[in-house]
Amino acid sequence: MAELSERLKMLRKERRLKQREMAEQFGLALNSYQAYEYATRTPDLRGLIALADFFDVSLDYLVGRSDERERR
């Protein structure tokens, strides 16, 4: 299964967004968002929930615990 960093990158690219756009969307500095995709930093729980909501996927999918995207 994929890791959070891989899922974030894949989901962002599916929406054709740049890292800078993601950082702006979540009120982060660019290097803070990049750290999520480079797996050098992990979002806090609120950040994970916000990302899952933004991409309309389950938290389990986002963090790599499941390959099913759908929220229940």
SS (H, E, C) 9-31: HHHHHHCCCCHHHHHHHCCCCHH
Instruction: Identify the pLDDT of residue 72.
Output: 74
CB-based burial of residue 51 (10 Å sphere; 0-12 exposed, 13-18 middle, 19+ buried)?
A: buried
d(CA 50, CA 15): 16
Neighbour-count burial of 7, counting CB atoms closer than 10 A to its CB (0-12 exposed, 13-18 middle, 19+ buried): buried
Domains of the chain by residue range: 4-62
Q: pTM of the entire structure?
A: 0.92
Nearest-CA neighbor of 3 among 46, 49, 40?
40
The whole-number pLDDT of residue 25 equals 96
Give me the CATH code for the 4-62 domain, please. Answer: 1.10.260.40
- Note down pLDDT in tens along the chain; length 72 residues: 579 999 999 999 999 999 999 999 999 999 999 999 999 999 999 999 999 999 999 999 999 999 999 887
pLDDT at residue 1, rounded to an integer: 55
Q: What is the pLDDT of residue 20?
A: 98
